[in-house]
Amino acid sequence: MSEANAKLAVRVAEGLSFEAELGSDPEGFCQPVLAELWAQQQRELALSIYFATDVEIAEIHGSWLGDPSATDVISFPLREDAHSVAAFDGELIVGYEHARRVSSQLNGAFASELALYVVHGALHLLGYDDHCEEDLLAMKAAEQSVLSALGYAVPDRYES
């Protein structure tokens, strides 16, 4: 793994109790999830990940995608070409409170839901799409492969 591709920066919105709720620091949570994804995809990215509140992610969702609702994850590619000077390949804004709410509604594990959002967002940065059924099924298969390898159980559903 090259130093540039190994780069990971993880931040958590003020007021969220990541370590208390998940029993891990944010980087310690993300590293094995991404390591498994990179191994399966045979490609790595340098990522910045921000675990956001509903208010924060809704504001970003509205500003960038025209939908002012809270959502699961938003992926931003930061290096559009080989000449880019961005420190990271991409940034993920992960809906922390959204994951907590959805996991509760589906009687699932919060950690599994949060891991799903990290994988889903990173797959978008790797070129996966979920706008047609064929692409969606390929993306869901990749998600399930990573999550099951890590022991996470996520209900089979189309929205993530």
List the beta strands (DSSP E) in 18-81: 47-52, 73-77
The CA distance from 126 to 63, in Å, is 23
Which are the contacts of 150, defined by CB distance < 8 A and separation ≥ 6? 32, 33, 36, 115
Question: How confident is residue 5, by pLDDT bands cut at 50, 70 and 90?
Answer: very low
Mean pLDDT score, 132-160? 85
CATH among 3.40.390.30, 3.40.50.300, 3.40.47.10, 3.40.50.920 for 6-150:
3.40.390.30
Which sequence spans correspond to the domains of the chain? 6-150
The model's confidence at residue 155, banded by pLDDT at 50, 70 and 90, is: low
Question: 12-67, pLDDT tens digit by residue?
Answer: 999 999 999 999 999 999 999 999 999 999 999 999 999 999 999 999 999 999 99
- pTM for the structure as a whole: 0.91
pLDDT digits (tens, 9 = 90+) for 90-140: 999 999 999 999 999 988 899 999 999 999 999 999 999 988 999 999 999
Question: Is the Cβ–Cβ distance between 84 and 41 less than 8 Å?
Answer: no
